[in-house]
Amino acid sequence: MKLSPRLIVPDPDRASAFYQDALGAEQVFRAPLGDDGRPAVVDHRIGGSSFTVSPAVSSWEWLSPSDLGGSAVLLEIEVDDPDAVGERMITHGAEVVVPIENRDYGKRSGRIRDPFGHLWIITGELR
């Protein structure tokens, strides 16, 4: 069994570029939606995990966080250096929701909203 989240975004190509630049994701597959060249799906890999981005299409009930008034899901990514990943995300247009700090539960973590409205918990070992 395998679980791979699909993130619905207004612009899959822009989102793909963000995830590649900010998170080091590798684009492994891209399927066009129609004649305009816009992708229906773009698959990515980060380490041993994968996720997909697809365009918001209201007639399919594929709604982005902005269509819903916010993100209904938290995506958690464990990394060696949460501060560096958080800074790369911010440099590429994300915003801090909860600062990355050492937490009482034994992790260094914080929450970042990417430019497409998805919420990410960036976590790693204490510093």
> Which range marks the domain in which residue 70 is found?
6-124
Query: Is residue 97 situated within a structural domain?
Result: yes
Nearest to 123 by CA among 90, 73, 77, 85: 77
Query: Is residue 89 situated within a structural domain?
Result: yes
Query: Is residue 46 situated within a structural domain?
Result: yes
Question: Is pLDDT larger for residue 127 or for residue 83?
Answer: 83
Count the Cβ atoms, other than its own, within 10 Å of residue 13: 16
Query: Is residue 14 situated within a structural domain?
Result: yes
pLDDT tens-digit map of 55-95: 999 999 999 999 999 999 999 999 999 999 999 999 999 99
Tell me the average pLDDT of the chain. Answer: 95
- For the chain, the domain total comes to 1
Supply the CATH number for residue 38's domain: 3.10.180.10
Query: Is residue 101 situated within a structural domain?
Result: yes
Q: Read off the pTM.
A: 0.92
pLDDT at residue 38 is higher than 90? no
pLDDT tens-digit map of 112-125: 999 999 999 999 99
Nearest to 6 by CA among 58, 48, 41: 41
Nearest to 117 by CA among 64, 58, 76: 64
Q: Tokens 């909203």, residue? A: 113
